[in-house]
Amino acid sequence: MTVNTDAGATTCGAVVTETQLGTASATDNAGTVSIQRSGVPSGNAFPIGTTTITYTATDDAGNTATASQTVTVIDNTAPTISAPAPTSASADGTGHATIPNVIAGTTASDNCGPVTVTQSPLAGTVVGTGAHTITITATDAAGNTSTATTTFTVNGARLIFSLTVSPDTVSLNKTTKIETNYTNTTNERLMVSFVIRYVGPCESGVIDNIGPGHLNAGQTKNANTTFHVEKTACTGLYVFTAEAYIGNALVGTATTQLTVSPEQLKGNKH
| pLDDT, tens digit, 9 for 90 and up, residues 238-260 | 999 999 999 988 888 899 999 99
Of 147, 153, 113, 149, which is closest to residue 132 (Cα–Cα)? 153
On whether residue 268 sits in a domain, the answer given is no
CA 19 to CA 41: how far, in whole Å?
Answer: 15
Cα 251 to Cα 32, 106, 156, 268, distances in angstroms: 90, 28, 12, 52
Q: What is the Cα–Cα distance from 21 to 90, expressed in whole angstroms?
A: 62
- CATH label of the domain that carries residue 117: 2.60.40.10
Tell me how many domains the chain contains.
Answer: 3
- Give the full edge-to-edge strand order of the sheet including 33-38: 2-4, 64-74, 49-59, 33-38
Query: 195 with 236, same domain?
Result: yes
Same domain for 176 and 254, yes or no, is: yes
Q: What is the pLDDT of residues 140-180, one digit of tens each?
A: 999 999 999 999 998 877 888 999 999 999 999 999 999 99
If asked whether residues 148 and 188 sit together in one domain, one would say no
> Residue 133 in 3-state DSSP?
strand
Are 164 and 120 in a shared domain? no
Identify the domain boundary among 104, 125, 155: 155
Is 175 in the same domain as 141? no
For residue 11, tell me if it sits in a domain.
yes
When pLDDT is cut at 50, 70 and 90, the band that residue 269 belongs to is very low
Q: Are residues 22 and 93 in the same domain?
A: no
Task: Say if residue 130 is in the same domain as residue 167.
Answer: no
Q: Rounded distance, CA 132 to CA 154, Å?
A: 8
Same domain for 182 and 242, yes or no, is: yes
* Whole-angstrom distance, CA of residue 154 vs CA of residue 151: 10
Give, in order, the Cα–Cα distances in Å from 8 to each of 36, 43, 48, 78, 109: 34, 20, 15, 8, 12
Among 20, 43, 74, give the residue marking a domain's end: 74
Domain that holds residue 200: 159-261
What's the predicted TM-score (pTM) here? 0.65
Same domain for 214 and 145: no
Cα–Cα distance, 153 to 133 (Å, whole number): 9
* 258 membership: H or E segment, kind and range: strand 249-261
DSSP notation for 78-96:
PPEEEPPPPEEEE--TTSE
> In the predicted model, what is the mean pLDDT of residues 210-226?
94
- Whether residues 184 and 102 share a domain: the answer is no
Q: Which amino acid does the sequence have at 183?
A: T
104, part of any domain: yes
pLDDT confidence of residue 130 = 87
Residue 266 counted as domain residue: no
Which of 161, 145, 136, 175 is CA-nearest to residue 244? 161
User: Do the domain assignments include residue 267?
Assistant: no
Residue 56 lies in a domain: yes
89 and 142 assigned to the same domain: yes
Distance (Å, rounded) from C-alpha 234 to C-alpha 205? Answer: 14
Report if residue 174 sits inside a domain. Answer: yes
Rg of the chain over all Cα atoms, to the nearest angstrom: 36
Say which CATH number the domain at 166 has: 2.60.40.3880
Among the three residues 49, 74, 99, which one is the final residue of a domain in this structure? 74
pLDDT-derived band of residue 270, with 50, 70 and 90 as boundaries?
Answer: very low
Pair 130, 172 in one domain: no
27: CATH: 2.60.40
**Is 270 domain-assigned?**
no
The per-residue pLDDT for 268 is 46
pLDDT band per the 50, 70, 90 thresholds, residue 266: low
If phi > 0 it is left, if psi is from -120 to 50 it is alpha, else beta; for residue 231 that is alpha
Q: Give pLDDT tens digits for 67-103.
A: 999 999 999 999 999 999 999 988 887 778 899 999 9
